[in-house]
Amino acid sequence: MANKSKFQAIRGTRDLLPTETGLWNHVEEIAHKVFGTFGFGEIRPPIFEPTELFARAVGGETDIVSKEMYTFSNPTGVAAMVRGERLEGTLADMLPEAEMITLRPEATASVCRAYIEHNMQQLPQPVKLYYMGPMFRRERPQKGRYRQFYQIGAEVLEVLRPETPHQFATRHPSQAAPKDAATDAEVIEMVMTFFDCLQLPGIQLNINSIGHNGPDCRRHYIGELHKELIKIKDHLGPDSQRRIGTNPLRVLDSKVESEQSYIDKLPRIADHLCPDCTAHYATLKRQLDLRGVFFKENWRLVRGLDYYMRTTFEITAKGLGSQNAVCGGGRYDGLVELLGGPPTKGIGFAIGEDRLILSLQEAGKGAAPQGRDVYIAWMGERAYATAVRAAKDLRTAGFSVELPPTELKFGKALERADKLGSRFALILGDNEVAEGSWTLKTLADGSQQKLTEPELLEFLRNCKRLSS
Ligand code: HAM
């Protein structure tokens, strides 16, 4: 139970304490390792970007952009106002669009912006990037849903070279399907491998294709869907009713119980995909089979961001209640171009790290509490000088060491060592120092041994090797 004081973490944000950060670091280390084996390099984009970037990439009608972004004016704009240069209207009216900035609600838009800004189309393609860090959305906080949350994500970007034999699906559908679907499958394989390494329990991969934005594909389907939605409008709640006008596809995402039987009877996009998108989806499924990745098809998986086309996927995990999506992603050919870059294909995902950790903890896979390897119990001035040097040597050798700053009676020191979960206590009195023979006590069984300094280091190294 938290103590009430004047200052508390803001609603929807929280402190991650050392009891948990061990597991967070472990998860992040595995991500670095696994993503590295797939040839991905890390990118660290800034935490805020021009508002317009997200509005354009994610879509003005999405919940994220219309309701959930933390947007404020760039301080230089405020300075101009303070100087009295423009004093009419609201702050947002007064500042040009580019001066409004937003705490990133996601990072795909930032990665695409960086791809353009750093001319990454000149690099060998595709460019494979991953990132991890905080994102911000003003959502209603609940278990697994925060206003500052963390994502681990990855993106694969590939510029369309003029000489490339296949063309862009949104403009010239053609034979790109097999290669792109193989990339989609590999990206999905990577995230599943990562979850496997963490032994994340009860994961379920859902996939779908939402086609491309052509008149013979998704656009036609949306027209058909719209007609059917109008017919059942009175049976839908206010959110779905609003979405009929703004984004009919998103009605499929509804979790409202009373709407389910009506939504289930709506036309399905798989029956309306163009031949290329159909081929892409079929190849994706074959490619996943080839890689031994189990999936479930879910025709209602449309995702809440506007940039997707063709492949969409989501992964759910156990122990998360209603917020059980631990990863979401999909293909977004055309997004880089929408942001002012050259025609480029893209596919990626983001894992909700908070939810991933929660699911691991619920399954009892929390990291063991971080105890110390060695607690140095010292008494006497000469012993202290040796203890300081020993602490330095042991830390350099990679052991975690606790060195009390003041002298404690050995009994008291051993009590503290125990409380800190130390594995060994190194007992250094003036006698031990004079003899050059130190006492190492194993706290689990109380056994003791006399060792010289080199023997001590050798012994500890062997213990570490055996336990790792
Ligand atoms: P997203 O589905 O909005 O996709 O978010 C991905 C994951 O972030 C979700 O599945 C969930 O685990 C986590 N998440 C989202 N909002 C919250 C929240 N308020 N609290 C805790 N966790 C949350 C994207 O962000 C896309 N950029 C993914 C992507 C990358 N698509 C292509 N590339």
Question: Which residue, by CA, sits nearest to atom 8 of ligand 1?
Answer: 352
Work out the angle between the directed axes of helices 453-467 and 381-396 (0-180°, nearest 10): 40
- Kindly report the protein residue whose alpha carbon is nearest to atom 7 of ligand 1: 352
Q: How far is the CA of 151 from the centre of ligand 1 (A)?
A: 7
Q: Residue ranges of the alpha helices (H) in 158-217?
A: 177-198
62 lines ligand 1 (CB under 6 A): no
CB 345 within 8 A of CB 96: no
**Cβ of 355 less than 6 Å from ligand 1:** yes
Q: Are 206 and 281 in contact (CB under 8 A)?
A: no
Q: Residue 45 has which token pair?
A: 């984009």
Please tell me the distance between residue 350's alpha carbon and the centre of ligand 1 in angstroms: 6
Rounded Cα–Cα distance for residues 108 and 131 (Å): 10
Assess contact for 436 and 452: CB atoms under 8 A. yes
Coil vs helix vs strand at 222: helix
Predicted pLDDT of residue 369:
65
What ligand 1 atom has the least distance to the C-alpha of 327? 10
Please tell me the distance between residue 31's alpha carbon and the centre of ligand 1 in angstroms. 16
At residue 172, the pLDDT reads: 43
Show the low-confidence residues of the chain (pLDDT under 50). Answer: 87, 97-98, 165, 167, 169-174
Output the CA 10–ligand 1 centroid distance in Å. 21
Ligand 1 centroid from CA 453, angstroms: 52
Give Cα separations from 379 to 403, 430, 446 (angstroms): 12, 7, 20
The predicted structure's pLDDT at residue 87: 47
Mean pLDDT across the chain:
90
CA-proximal residue: ligand 1, atom 14 (nearest): 352
Regarding the beta carbon of 327 and ligand 1, being less than 6 Å apart is answered yes
Atom of ligand 1 nearest to the CA of 351: 7
pLDDT confidence of residue 20: 92
> What is the structure's pLDDT at 82?
53
> Candidates 65, 143, 149, 320: which one to mutate for ligand 1, based on the most atoms within 8 Å of Cβ?
149
- Ligand 1 atom showing the smallest separation from residue 105 Cα: 25
Q: Which of 63, 102, 103, 135 to mutate to test the pocket of ligand 1 (most atoms within 8 A of CB)?
A: 135
145 ligand 1 Cβ < 6 A:
yes
CB 383, CB 438: distance < 8 Å: no
Q: Are 464 and 399 in contact (CB under 8 A)?
A: yes
Give the residue, by CA position, lying nearest to ligand 1 atom 25.
106
Question: In sequence order, what are the residues at sequence separation of 6 or more whose Cβ sits closer than 8 angstroms to the Cβ of residue 211?
Answer: 217, 218, 221, 269, 272, 273, 274, 277, 309, 310
**Tens digit of each residue's pLDDT (9 = 90 or more) over 210-256:** 999 999 999 999 999 999 999 999 999 999 999 999 889 999 989 89
Q: What is the pLDDT of residue 153?
A: 98
- Looking from the CA of residue 305, the nearest atom of ligand 1 is 3
Minimal-distance CA residue to ligand 1 atom 18: 145
Cα(328) to centroid(ligand 1), Å: 6
> Residue 352 Cα, ligand 1 centroid: separation in angstroms?
6
N-terminal to C-terminal alpha carbon distance within the chain: 35
